[in-house]
A = this chain, B = another copy of it.
Amino acid sequence: MTVIFSKKCELAVQAVLFLSIKEIKQVWTAEEISKEMMVPKEFVSKMLQILTDSGIVGSKKGKSGGFFLAKSPADIRLVDIVKAIDGMEVFETCVLGFPGCSSDNPCPVHDKWGKLRDDAFKMLSEETLEEFKEKTTKKIESLKS
């Protein structure tokens, strides 16, 4: 089961976090990223291509090409990645799956879930990747062992 975000989104977040702790504009190939994140190369490049289209990541074709962050980590928030890969649906749909859930016609947990959803949105949009750098470095370091 997916935990809120799709596997695609999870991988995209991981790959961007990887890029965020490297020198800006330095390029990394899909293969290098795939090795460090331990996911298939093709999956990495597919996700990074989507993020390239949405301007978060940049790419350079040909020899000595690769992917790099198109913006400073201080200008990227996790929610940008979620938006690009999964869209905002997760923040809009009824958690119990009822049709037409709204404050006029709420499901039994509508109000409480609304608050949680807002908190989740905040979590993903308040901090930038810059502020995550230290934690990100530690986490990605730990993947190697």
B89 touches A1 (CB 8 A): yes
Q: How many copies of this chain does the complex contain?
A: 2
A123 and B112 contacting across the interface, CB-CB below 8 Å = yes
In the complex, identify which listed stretch (A50-58, A64-72, A102-110) lies at the interface while the others stay far away: A102-110
Closest B residue to A91 using CB positions: B3
Q: Are B139 and A107 in contact (CB under 8 A)?
A: yes
Q: Which of B5, B93, B106 contacts A135 (CB 8 A)?
A: B106
A-B contact pairs, 13 of them (CB 8 A): A1-B2, A1-B5, A1-B86, A3-B89, A3-B95, A3-B97, A7-B97, A13-B96, A105-B139, A106-B139, A108-B136, A109-B132, A116-B123
Assuming A3-B90, A3-B93, A116-B123, what are 11 further A-B pairs, CB within 8 angstroms? A1-B86, A1-B87, A3-B89, A5-B95, A78-B109, A98-B139, A105-B138, A108-B132, A108-B139, A116-B119, A119-B119
